[in-house]
Amino acid sequence: MNKTIQLQDLGTKDYKETWEYQEELFKGIVDLKIRNRREELDLQTPNYFLFVEHPHVYTLGKSGDLSNLLLSEKQLETKGATFYKINRGGDITYHGPGQIVGYPIIDLENFFTDIHKYLRFLEEAIILTLQEYGIVCGRSEGETGVWLGAGTPFARKICAMGVRASRWVTMHGFALNVNADLGYFDNIIPCGIRGKAVTSLNVELGVEKVNEEEVKEKILKHFSTLFEAKFD
């Protein structure tokens, strides 16, 4: 079992280009697993973790409802945003500057074969990271992601998640609002959930800007502990 994860920080990158790159890495792992099975080999499968920041974009998951996007094509252009229907779970979400997006493309057979546990560990890595900033947060029953004030009238989501898995290989991942422009969320019904607000770490801390590199380091620290992995 290979518990080493190759870390790549892609900086700012177009959503579609990043999606195609994810698919390439994902296919490479799946193809190797198929070859291992077919030829009775035991070649190690690689694992990847991509950090990226996207220009303004809205993405709709395969089970999502297009009516949760509240903009026309022309309005999208005016706002400098793009839109894609994609192959992850979940409904509609927004990505943009000031948001840390993480895409673990890993072979869960190197760690554990349990998608539910995988999602809970993703959430836990973010929860533990935010706790280091004094943020009280957690899960909201029946709703994937990380929330503040869950179960209260002031519930607000700080981290969205949506993943795809096939043959125990994962792709897509999480989007944590760190210094995000929350106005862009007004153009959608985030994750298809009405009446729930969205927040960002800088807003909760009452500061203009949070050091995103520091947040990334904390996420990786907690991710590696939970998954008993090491980053290369």
Name the residues annotated as catalytic. 191
**Dihedral sign (CA 186, 189, 194, 198):** negative
Would the annotation count 9 as a binding residue? no
Would the annotation count 155 as a binding residue? no
Enclosing H/E stretch for 10: strand 4-12
Where would I find the H helices in the chain?
15-39, 73-78, 115-131, 201-205, 212-227
Would the annotation count 88 as a binding residue? yes
Would the annotation count 173 as a binding residue? yes
Would the annotation count 91 as a binding residue? yes
Would the annotation count 184 as a binding residue? no
Interatomic CA distance for residues 176 and 132, integer angstroms = 15
**Would you call 144 helix, strand, or coil by DSSP?**
strand
Would the annotation count 94 as a binding residue? yes
Would the annotation count 95 as a binding residue? yes
Interatomic CA distance for residues 197 and 195, integer angstroms = 7
- Three-state SS for 70-119 is CCCHHHHHHCCCEEEECCCCCCEEEECCCEEEEEEECEHHHCCCCHHHHH
- Which residues is 101 bridged to in the sheet? 52, 175
Would the annotation count 162 as a binding residue? yes
Would the annotation count 90 as a binding residue? yes
- Give binding residues as ranges: 88-95, 160-162, 173-175
- Give binding residues for substrate as ranges: 88-95, 160-162, 173-175
